[in-house]
């Protein structure tokens, strides 16, 4: 796949994606480009990664270790400096599971206004399938200068109060969990009730589109027409509306957030990262099954 083929998929913001070929041609441009691997399977980077890429672990690097929240601006600035990323650096994300965690990391970067970000279409699976170079060598970059940014959650993140208002206004919502979770048949994993919810179901009015429907078998994103058929044709979302996406803790829904915001051009889409682990435990929160 080339940039031309990405252009031909008809996205609102085709520049949000780069091809594996583009990445292969920019491996040495470490001055301007930083390639970031972010995976669910945290040991994949150790097994082998794209040359000159660095790892961002969403659990260890992007979360506040105590409070349920993301890292604060000081820690974000320090993380960027350590990875040799300056505010002007173009950050290319890729990862396993159809770029699920790559888009999650990208979304967190967005909270700090680092918008010069792109996703490698097809992610790790496509890079490997094409037999491209992998290495176990961990690169080391000079510490960058990254001023402490302001964090603005309001643009792309929804809190419970936002969902309340959205619900009252009958706003559009998309639940990107599996159908079993959406129908309330799965509450939590055996032996881990603390990671589940006391009630099953979904937020009233939310449509169900499992997140992975946005990708093809080779890991690349479906074309704009195919995506519109799913999100607009099947469940009636519309580009001009405010939309809230959610899942269990906000990671799967960051993938759908990326699809709606960048590929389909939805300006008013936000990710509710409190998601079902918050809503399904809230006293008197309305639920549909």
Partner 1 sequence: MEAEKERTDRNRKSGAALLVEHARRPRHKNDWGVPEDADVAIPGGSPECGGSVVIYLKGDADGNVEWLSWTGQGDTISMGATSIVVERILSEGLSMQEVLEMDYEGFVDSLGREIIGSRTRHATLGLSTIKAAVRQYQRAGRSGGRAAV
Smaller CB separation from partner 1, 132 or 188: 188
Return the number of the residue (162 or 181) whose C-beta is nearest partner 1. 181
By CB under 8 A, name the one of 169, 191, 217, 284 that touches partner 1. 191
* Out of 189, 217, 240, 284, the residue judged to bind partner 1 by CB under 8 A: 189
Q: Which residues are catalytic?
A: 247
CB of 230 to partner 1, least distance (A): 19
167 close to 284: Cβ distance less than 8 angstroms: no
82 interacts with partner 1 by CB under 8 A: no
**Phi, psi at residue 202, to the nearest 5°?**
-145, 165
66 lines the binding site for partner 1 (CB under 8 A): no
Q: Is 254 helix (H, G, I), strand (E, B) or coil?
A: helix
Out of 124, 157, 166, 252, name the contact with partner 1 by CB under 8 A.
252
CB of 271 to partner 1, least distance (A): 17
Query: What dihedral angle (degrees, nearest 10) is formed by the CA atoms of 269, 108, 209, 244?
Result: -30
Q: Which is nearer to partner 1, 61 or 153 (CB)?
A: 61
Q: Using CA atoms, how far apart are residues 34 and 142, in angstroms rounded to an integer?
A: 12
- Across 72-213, where does the E strand assignment appear? 90-94, 117-120, 172-175, 207-208
Distance (Å) of CA 82 to CA 77, 86, 139: 9, 10, 12
Minimum Å gap between C-beta 115 and partner 1 is 28
209-214, long-range: CB < 8 A, 24+ apart:
209/174, 209/175, 209/176, 209/234, 209/235, 209/256, 210/176, 210/177, 210/178, 210/179, 211/100, 211/176, 211/247, 211/252, 211/253, 211/255, 211/256, 212/98, 212/255, 214/255, 214/256, 214/259
Note whether 57 binds partner 1 by CB under 8 A: yes
Taking the least distance from each CB to partner 1, the nearer of 126 and 252 is: 252
81 in Cβ contact with 144 (< 8 Å): yes
Kindly give the residue spans of alpha helices, DSSP state H, lying in 130-188.
Answer: 160-168, 179-182
Contact segment (CB under 8 A) with partner 1 among 19-27, 57-65, 154-162, 258-266 equals: 57-65
Listed ranges 17-25, 52-60, 200-208, 232-240: which one lies at the site for partner 1 (CB under 8 A): 52-60
Residue 187 or 235 having the CB closest to partner 1: 187
SS3 label, residue 246: strand
Binding to partner 1 by residue 60, rule CB under 8 A?
yes
**Piece of the chain touching partner 1 by CB under 8 A; list 29-37, 44-52, 76-84, 86-94:** 44-52
Q: Does residue 261 touch partner 1 according to CB under 8 A?
A: no
Interface of this chain with partner 1, residues 164 to 183, rule: CB under 8 A: 177-178
Smallest gap from residue 105 Cβ to partner 1 (A): 16
Say whether residue 255 binds partner 1 (CB under 8 A).
no
Q: What is the DSSP letter of 137?
A: P
The residue ranges that bind partner 1 (CB under 8 A) are: 40-44, 46-47, 57, 59-60, 177-178, 186, 189-192, 195, 248, 252
């Amino acid at each position: 796949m080339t940039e031309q083929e990405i252009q031909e998929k008809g996205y609102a913001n085709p520049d949000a994606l780069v091809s594996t070929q583009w990445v292969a041609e920019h491996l040495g441009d470490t001055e301007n480009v930083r390639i970031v691997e972010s995976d669910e399977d945290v040991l994949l980077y150790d097994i082998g990664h794209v040359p000159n890429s660095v790892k961002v672990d969403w659990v260890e690097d992007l979360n506040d270790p105590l409070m349920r929240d993301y890292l604060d601006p000081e820690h974000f600035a320090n993380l960027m400096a350590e990875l040799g990323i300056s505010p002007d650096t173009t950050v290319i994300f890729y990862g396993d599971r159809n770029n699920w965690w790559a888009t999650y990391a990208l979304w967190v970067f967005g909270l700090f206004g680092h918008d010069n970000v792109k996703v490698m279409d097809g992610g790790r699976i496509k890079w490997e399938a094409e037999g491209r170079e992998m290495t176990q060598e961990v690169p080391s970059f000079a510490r960058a200068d990254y001023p402490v940014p302001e964090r603005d959650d309001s643009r792309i993140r929804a809190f419970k109060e936002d969902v309340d208002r959205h619900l009252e206004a009958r706003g559009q919502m998309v639940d990107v969990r599996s159908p079993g979770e959406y129908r309330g048949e799965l509450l939590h994993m055996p032996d881990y009730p603390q990671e589940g919810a006391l009630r099953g179901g979904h937020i009233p009015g939310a449509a169900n589109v499992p997140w992975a429907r946005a990708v093809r078998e080779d890991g690349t994103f479906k074309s704009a027409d195919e995506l519109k058929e799913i999100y607009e044709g099947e469940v009636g979302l519309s580009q001009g509306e405010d939309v809230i996406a959610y899942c269990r803790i906000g990671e799967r829904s960051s993938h759908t957030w990326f699809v709606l915001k960048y590929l389909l051009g939805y300006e008013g889409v936000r990710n509710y990262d409190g998601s079902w682990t918050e809503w399904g435990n809230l006293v008197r929160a309305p639920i549909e099954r």
